[in-house]
Amino acid sequence: MKALFTLVAFTASLSLFATDRIVEEFGQAPAYASITAAVAAASDGDRIIVKNRAGNIPWIEDITVNKSLQFLSFINDGFFYVQGTYTITGAAGRTVTVIGMRNTSGGFAFTSGGSVRGTTVRILDSYFVNGSINFNNNNFQADIIGCTLAKGRVNINFGNVVGCDIDGSTVSGDVISITGSTASAVLDTCAVIGNNVKAGSGYDGVSFNSTGQVAHIRNNFIQHGWMGINIYAGNNSGVQNLVWNNTVTAYTGSGTTYGISLANTTSGSVWEVMNNAVTRTWTGSNNIGIHKNSGNSGQINVYFNHVSSNVSGGVSTGFTFESDNTTDQVITLNADGTFNTPGGCIDGGNPAAVLSDLDLSTGDAGAFGGSYTLNNFHPLHTGSARVYLTGHPFNVRSGSTLRVKAVAFDR
């Protein structure tokens, strides 16, 4: 069975009386002839298991989901092919999980309902040929994990975007947009980690504007046409927000481009901008590396970052703390985000032992440095079980209990 679990505690959430609803072309009872029919017959906790039509012709249906359901492929480690928009209706305690969808034209949307973060949506190991994922509503917690969006974007208020490949260069809007802010939300981590992101001219690669979460924006390779990482707000509890080990390059634009920009940060917020590599291939004349924009009230610490010398504005002055940044060396990239000319990035990250690379050498700057190196998350769609994120102490001391938490999915 496909399930989500943690390595420290496995929690089964399905009803004791959950049923597998099989969808099969020309299906007769007990199978269902459409996904719509299977969803209508299902009860909370059931699984909708989809057999592909002959020739992998997609099931062409717009689906409304108003129950706690799982959607899975009948074929082990394979996709189920659909076309259409899946709309999740919010309700307190509702959980919808989708693993292995290949949607040829369509994506995910919502109908508001329930309570703040009361509806959980998990979209895992899925492929969207032409469509976006939109849960920009405070009532939804959305985890978008290991997905490809070949022509789309992800827009959520609460949740995580981990290990995805998202090309939004031909659509309107910021590619990964996090906007959830509400006083009643439980302060939690928003992980934007290990993604390949491409944004079009005039749009951000990653935009974060939330007071209700702690940002961990780490080890992303971001190509952009305006701002690579655009930061606003931040929690006012003093819990550190991390912008670590990203590789950011401006490849297009129509005006000034910014690698990392911080503006209107919340009083009481703390932002740690560390070990990032910023460069450009765009030929425009106005390029800023790490930019202190207006209205900042939070603490912003900028250190061990490397901005290519071909970026006209390197690192702004006036941050709370600045140290060990370089702006005088050329940084060029290969198509996959690895370094062609690394400048000072190799062994140029924070030299603290707890921030070493996986081979225990001094940490590199950029998306392939540190413990969440980008190639931990790619390639996608390997058809195998995977642990997609771990949480663990960076500093292990003799006599201390080692606690490691991992989140995974499997069939």
**pLDDT tens-digit readout, 270-321:** 999 999 999 999 988 789 999 999 999 999 999 999 999 999 899 999 999 9
Lowest-confidence pick of 14-18, 174-178, 315-319, 406-410: 14-18
Mean pLDDT of the chain: 92
Sign of CA dihedral 339, 345, 349, 353: positive
**Is it the case that residue 10 has pLDDT exceeding 60?**
no
Answer for the pair 190, 220: CB distance below 8 angstroms, yes or no: no
Confidence at residue 411, expressed as pLDDT on a 0 to 100 scale: 67
∠ at Cα 292 (287, 298), nearest 5°? 155
Tracing tokens 């012709």 back to the chain, one arrives at 57
Q: Which two tokens stand for residue 380?
A: 């996608």
pLDDT of the residue at 1: 39
pLDDT tops 50 at residue 3: no
pTM above the 0.85 mark? yes
Give 400: exposed, middle or buried? Use CB within 10 Å, 0-12, 13-18, 19+: exposed
For the chain, report the end-to-end CA distance as a whole number of angstroms: 5
Residue-level pLDDT at 86: 98
Mean pLDDT of 370-396: 84
Mean pLDDT check: name the lowest of 20-29, 51-60, 195-204, 341-350. 20-29
